[in-house]
Amino acid sequence: MRKSLLSRLYIKESPDKPPYQIDGTYRRFDQRNNLTVGRPGWDEEFKPLLRKSVEVRVKTIKADRAGYQLKDYSLFDAGGVSVFRLGNAINHSNRGVTSWSTLGNKLPPGVEAWQGSPEEAVEMVKRVARYFGARLVGAIPLDRNYIYSHAYWSDGTHKEIIFAEAEKPEETETQLIVPEKMRWVIVMGIPMDIDMMDYTPSPLGCAETRITYSKMGLIVSGVAEFVRGIGYNAIPSINDLGLNIPMAIDAGFGEQGRNGKLITPEYGPSLRLCKVITDLPLSRDHPIRFGVTEFCEVCMKCADECPAQAIPHGERTWSRDSLSCSQGHFTWHLNNEACRKYWDLGVAANCTSCVRSCPFTKHPGLVHELACTFVSNFPILDPLLKDIDDWLGYGKEKDGSRFWNQQDFGV
């Protein structure tokens, strides 16, 4: 990716100043406070929502609206089967495909571990990651700020994550132990099909998020097994273990937008992130800027389209109103509670309307690259570009019946 001539005009490397701000009050986030796998397991405000979600789903199916029918919900659930239902889940460390020990691949007896320069190593693992299906791949030193202070599992297990002098990663009764020597992260981005995202927030559209997570299960486990097979430790991770977005920003994927998502030049926010932590020495990538923050300051499309009204219309701030937001971070803090409630009480799936409505969510091509060039270099034009996006009708939910009426395998 990023090999076009135009990309050199709008993607600006920022090695000394990443496009985010944290202050001295920042603390490692406890996964127990996450609203996907954490609080629904212990917070009395959210525990009943999973039961109510079933009632909402039944009522919605009986209403027989295109995109919200039985077949749409079935596709949503089926898309995530390999990563949610086979002994692991996207938020669970050291379970199934996110196993901290080998799933079969290891250095053959009597063979020395692979040796090469960090530059050779990073090219090798990037090639492997792309082979398994990643489209964006970067390598960075591990910043422990972005590793959770504690891991949480849906059965209520809650363990501290520590760093210690150890030969291999380990899980004990009370802790997850990451060896001190595991100081590198391979960050990977997997795009979601933009045409399918046009159906969100329906379960039909959200099926794309689930199948992308299933692909990520293959990718993280495959990359981790490759690294183990050449003689190094690897911890595969989807949404577990640590915060993906700041790692991806450090790896040069993009910037964080008003909607709280990572915005990339290639796919906008229409992608998912995963990572592998390793002790294989790598050479690093660097953050980039291409005008996202400035554009988001004047564009309110995600906030206007959010059915839960969870995205703020105002300015960025240091203050947070939710324990499910990181403290000490200058950003647009979302109302995560409202977002989660909409998942269960609104569509009984997930949502991602903020991905669909974002003006950066476009098919790659000359027009998109020209728009990115103006956003990056001429921010005074941002209001006009946002208006053009509106005039052309982008960002609206598409009729779900179109998917089922296709005569081929396209969407």
> pLDDT tens digits, residue range 149-187?
999 999 999 999 999 999 999 999 999 999 999 999 999
Q: What is the structure's pLDDT at 408?
A: 53
Residue 308 has pLDDT above 60, yes or no: yes
- What average pLDDT does this structure show over 227-231? 97
Q: What is the structure's pLDDT at 204?
A: 96
Domain ranges of the chain: 7-398
Q: What is the structure's pLDDT at 271?
A: 97
Q: What is the structure's pLDDT at 407?
A: 58
Residue 4 has pLDDT above 80, yes or no: no
- What average pLDDT does this structure show over 177-203? 97
- d(Cα 146, Cα 293) in Å, to the nearest integer? 21
The residue type of 99 is S
List the one residue out of 269, 270, 264, 298 whose CA is nearest residue 372: 264
Q: What is the structure's pLDDT at 53?
A: 95
DSSP per-residue letters across 291-326: SHHHHHHH--HHHHH-TT--S-SS--BS--S-TTS-
Q: What is the structure's pLDDT at 52?
A: 94
- d(Cα 161, Cα 405) in Å, to the nearest integer? 49
- d(Cα 136, Cα 216) in Å, to the nearest integer? 12
Among the ranges given (85-94, 103-112, 370-379), the one the predictor scored with the smallest mean pLDDT: 85-94
Residue 410 has pLDDT above 80, yes or no: no
Q: pLDDT for 367-405, tens place per residue? A: 999 999 999 999 999 999 999 999 999 999 999 999 999
Contact 92, 238 (CB under 8 A): no
Residue 409 has pLDDT above 70, yes or no: no
263 bridge partner residues: 255
Q: What is the structure's pLDDT at 88?
A: 78
Residue 74 has pLDDT above 80, yes or no: yes
Residue 92 has pLDDT above 60, yes or no: yes
- d(Cα 367, Cα 358) in Å, to the nearest integer? 16
Q: How many CA atoms lie within 13 A of 67 on its CB side?
A: 18
Q: What is the structure's pLDDT at 197?
A: 96
- What average pLDDT does this structure show over 239-263? 97
- d(Cα 105, Cα 310) in Å, to the nearest integer? 44
Q: What is the structure's pLDDT at 86?
A: 73
Please state, rounded to an integer, the average pLDDT across all residues of the chain. Answer: 94
Q: What is the structure's pLDDT at 25?
A: 94
- What average pLDDT does this structure show over 294-314? 97
